Chains A and B, each alone.
Chain A
Amino acid sequence: MLVSGLSAILFVMGLWGAFTRKNAIIVLMCLELMLNAANLQFVAAGVYHGDTAGWIYTVFAIAIAAAEVAIGLAILLSVFNQHETIRLDDINLLRN
């Protein structure tokens, strides 16, 4: 229960950060935070049910998260190269 609560707090912190922060890197970090909250939840549920499946999911999710971060950073790098900024409010090409 305690771990589940921690995971929920972590998730809300991540969500909050993703909503409010303007720097794309920090938004990316917040996304990672939410992902890891989910991982924590998996492990907690696995322990609670005595089932190893939750742990295995976690291992997969960490690997995928690593790949995601790599891609996300690459995108941000090329966005910076194009626009000289990574402020999310300034990046709205599709709208205009």
Chain B
Amino acid sequence: MGSSYDEVKNALDVPSEFVFIILLPMLAFPLILYLGMKFNGQKFWKENLKEGGLVALPVMAASLVLSLVLIRRFINETSVSDTSTVFSWANFAWFTEGATTEISLYSLNFGLYVDHVTVMLLFVASFLCLLINIFSIGYMNTDEVNDNKNHRFYAEFVLFCSGMLGMVLSDSFLWLFIFWELMGLCSYLLIGFYYDKPSAAYAAKKAFLTTRVGDVFLVIGLAMLWNLFQPYASGGDALAFATVFDHSNLQMLADAGKQGALQLALGFMFIGAVGKSAQFPLHVWLPDAMEGPTPVSALIHAATMVNAGLYLVARMFPIFGDSAMMGEFSDLAFIIALVGGITACMAALIAFVQMDLKKVLAYSTMSQLAYIFTGLGAALWLANSLDWGEYPNKGIVVVAFGAALFHLFNHAMAKGMLFMASGSVIHEMHHAHHDLHHHHHDDDHHDDHGDDHHDDHFDAQSMANMGGLASRLPITATAMFVGSASIIGIPLIGGFWSKEGIIANTWRVAVEHDPRFYIPAFLVLITAGMTGFYMSRMWFMTFAGKPKTEVAEKVHEQTPWIPIPLLVLIPMSLAGIVFASLKSTYFLGYKGYKLGEDGLLEGFLYEMDHIFVNPGTNYLLVLTYIAIFLSMVLGPCAAMALHGGRLDEGQKAKPWMQWAVTLSGKLNDKYSFAGWAEKMSESSFGEALRQRLYFDKYYDMAMMKIVAGFSNLSASFDKNVVDGFAIKTIIEKGGQDSSRIIRSITTGSARDYIMMVAVGTLAIAILLWGVN
């Protein structure tokens, strides 16, 4: 029955000017670098153009506008009917070999591929890139450490954005990979922005090399995929989506018995995604990547790079869903879900003990991405194993896939905001510390040596130095509050809708189909509660209670530009309810669904009914309430009891946060499990969590053993064989010996030469005579 994506061929043309979504930022890259090198230090460049920030801004704005036009056109042209074309592309011949003959031997085209997944990620990427650009102007340009370096930041930033937009829009796994690597390069450059700081240089190297491990497997996977589809590509790009997703191609592969090879290829590609999205066991780079400036953290961890891995897995959906491959890939789908489940739980555990504000967010990112992987694993399992052409299976598959993608959307919005809010906290802490420090300095010594405030021992990122900021940073606190609520999954706010969907669908697969899925299903359910704990812990440690340092008392919101993206993203995170009512899960999972076709109110009532009252089966209903209890009640209350507290006398937070602060104060007074918490923290388990479960240690050890062993071996080969034998014996000694011999022949006496000529001639004569 027709569960396939073969309507892909009825292509609708995307006007090729939309390629400027990618090209504009790519062209801005050399422009900003050039202008920066030319005008660094000049006033108009620093003041009026913000060292390139205001060159990047219109470019990113133009990209966003073009993206929105494309998205609008896509949504409008999607008709309601099931078989209609929801797919479109524009094609640019890049180079073609043998084009004069009738069938070209090989051609490499670049095309734009637009479908529901593209549209969602395109919006996420271009929207967040613009906001992060605005944020950067506030964050980077007000810190004198960055003076005359910012053009490098903005240049790398726009190149990174063009990499992400290109990856989302490209129409072939090959181009996807090319842009993927472009992003990898830019993330290396951006994480190592403060390359003179050893820890930053180390973190950049670590991020680059760890993702490279995954990328090696991705290349292997792509090569295998190329090999499989080459016979059916008819001279074109064998990795083009149009070739790979084609039902008849997949059918021919299935008839040839190549399902196992295809699963292996997809599995290798999944390892690439694991590296890029920082999943177990290639997750170690992400926390260290926090060495980069905060806008970079927001860019890499929320908007773009970590989503690339998810996008790659989501792109495999048509292959999993094709009827030719039915039931063949359930193992791979399970592995995807399992990796997700393990990472979700592990990252949440490690996040319990992190004191660095940005590192909590980094682990939270890992955990939430793992949720999406689990959701995708479940959706891929369902798509692969069910005959989903008909009702009700179709609805199940669509909602499972859509829920995972919807969580990607919600998480990107919330986490982008959280990172920018954390940047705001850190920035204002820096400022307060600097003012305080500078002030004392002037009083005591009266010298003008401006200290570099990065050099002293005050850690502006540590939550141990914060506390009580809710009243001092009202906009930031609100943004953190809403973002945390969305990540935790407080009912009716952003992440709730999608997270419920992921948990429910994983359980559905486990209970109804494949008992192996009980492992990821349990893990994601527990993680819901743990998310509630660590996100609340972060918020209450930072914003509630009394200020823990003198610096925290002096903090206030003063930097321009920074609040703008926060104010834009707060409603975006809260708007999850609107997107849910528009039935975004259907739109994202289902090619034929038109966004909001059922009407906003009906959609809202349908979703409410579907989650709280009648989710189909009883166990799903029980599950929903367990998840809500864990994430909304148990986790946050435990965090409040441990880390909550009232603000100082006379300080008052905004009313929508004040109740939480007061509640946390009450809970903290009544049950502060201080002794127990201390005991836990001092136990070997607490220590293991602080050491990030020793992953880095053991990876380092393994690397030392394997890599250092191999290096020593090749070093000794170089020393003994190449230098010792080849160079010393053959080249050096042989050269000396042969020149000594030749010198003894060169007597300088004409008679000897005549003799040599005669003997030589005689020898030639004898040789010729012998030959004849």
Contact = CB atoms under 8 A, between A and B. Distances in A.
Nearest to A24: B750
Interface string A25-63: 001000000000000000000000000000000000000
Interface in B716-772: 746-751, 754-755, 758
A91 interface: yes
A96 B748 contact: yes
A72 B749 CA distance: 17
Interface size class of B (residues with CB under 8 A): under 10
A92 B747 contact: yes
A15 B749 CA distance: 16
Nearest to A31: B754
A89 B749 contact: yes
B359 to A, nearest CB: 77
Nearest to A96: B748
Contacts of A92: 747-749
A15 B758 contact: yes
A47 B462 CA distance: 111
Interface string A47-84: 00000000000000000000000000000000000000
B754 A95 contact: no
Nearest to B758: A15
B760 to A, nearest CB: 13
Given A15-B758, A19-B755, A94 B748 contact: yes
Nearest to A95: B748
Give chain B's interface secondary structure class. Answer: helix
A19 B757 CA distance: 11
A19 B749 CA distance: 11
A90 B163 CA distance: 79
A89 to B, nearest CB: 7
A73 to B, nearest CB: 16
A68 B749 CA distance: 21
A93 B751 contact: no
Contacts of B746: 94-95
B442 to A, nearest CB: 83
Nearest to A30: B754
A41 to B, nearest CB: 14
A19 B748 contact: no
Interface string A14-27: 01001100001001
A88 B748 contact: no
B751 A95 contact: no
Contacts of A93: 748
Nearest to B755: A19
B203 to A, nearest CB: 66
B747 A19 contact: no
A89 B753 CA distance: 12
Contact of B747 (A24, A27, A91, A95): A95
B751 A19 contact: yes
A88 B747 contact: no
A18 to B, nearest CB: 5
B556 to A, nearest CB: 91
Nearest to B746: A95
A18 B755 CA distance: 9
A32 B747 CA distance: 25
Contacts of B750: 24, 27, 88, 91
Contacts of A15: 758
Nearest to A93: B748
A95 B750 CA distance: 11
Contacts of B747: 92, 95
Contacts of B755: 19
A16 to B, nearest CB: 11
Contacts of B748: 92-96
Contacts of A94: 746, 748
Nearest to A21: B751
A95 B752 CA distance: 12
Contacts of B751: 18-19, 88-89
Contacts of A88: 749-751
Nearest to B749: A92
A90 to B, nearest CB: 10
A76 to B, nearest CB: 12
A27 B750 CA distance: 10
B622 to A, nearest CB: 104
Contacts of A91: 750
Nearest to B747: A95
Contacts of A24: 750
Contacts of B758: 15
B449 to A, nearest CB: 72
A46 B747 CA distance: 40
A23 B573 CA distance: 109
A49 B746 CA distance: 43
Interface string B611-644: 0000000000000000000000000000000000
A92 B751 CA distance: 11
A82 to B, nearest CB: 16
A92 B747 CA distance: 8
Q: Name the residue in B749, B751, B755 with the highest tally of chain A Cβ atoms < 10 Å from its Cβ.
A: B751
A29 B524 CA distance: 107
Contacts of A95: 746-749
Contacts of A89: 749, 751
A19 B758 CA distance: 10
A18 B749 contact: no
Contacts of B749: 88-89, 92, 95
A24 B748 CA distance: 15
A5 to B, nearest CB: 18
B3 to A, nearest CB: 90
A13 to B, nearest CB: 14
A24 B749 CA distance: 12
A24 B746 CA distance: 20
B765 to A, nearest CB: 13
Nearest to A18: B754
Contacts of A18: 751, 754
B249 to A, nearest CB: 75
A92 B752 CA distance: 11
B758 to A, nearest CB: 6
A88 B751 CA distance: 8
Nearest to A88: B750
A93 B750 CA distance: 11
A93 B747 CA distance: 10
A56 B195 CA distance: 83
Nearest to B754: A18
Nearest to B750: A88
A91 B758 CA distance: 21
A92 B753 CA distance: 12
B212 to A, nearest CB: 60
Contacts of A96: 748
A88 B749 CA distance: 7
B728 to A, nearest CB: 31
A18, A93, A94 pick with most chain B CB within 10 angstroms:
A18
Interface centre among B749, B750, B758 (most CB of A within 10 A): B750
A89 B751 CA distance: 8
B346 to A, nearest CB: 80
A67 to B, nearest CB: 20
A94 B750 CA distance: 11
A1 to B, nearest CB: 19
Given A19-B751, A92-B747, 9 more contacts: A19-B755, A88-B751, A89-B749, A89-B751, A91-B750, A92-B749, A93-B748, A95-B746, A95-B747
Pick the 9 closest A-B CB pairs, nearest first: A95-B748, A92-B748, A88-B750, A94-B748, A18-B754, A92-B749, A19-B751, A95-B747, A88-B751
18 contacts: A15-B758, A18-B751, A18-B754, A19-B751, A19-B754, A19-B755, A24-B750, A27-B750, A88-B749, A88-B751, A89-B749, A91-B750, A92-B747, A94-B748, A95-B746, A95-B747, A95-B748, A95-B749
Interface of A: 15, 18-19, 24, 27, 88-89, 91-96
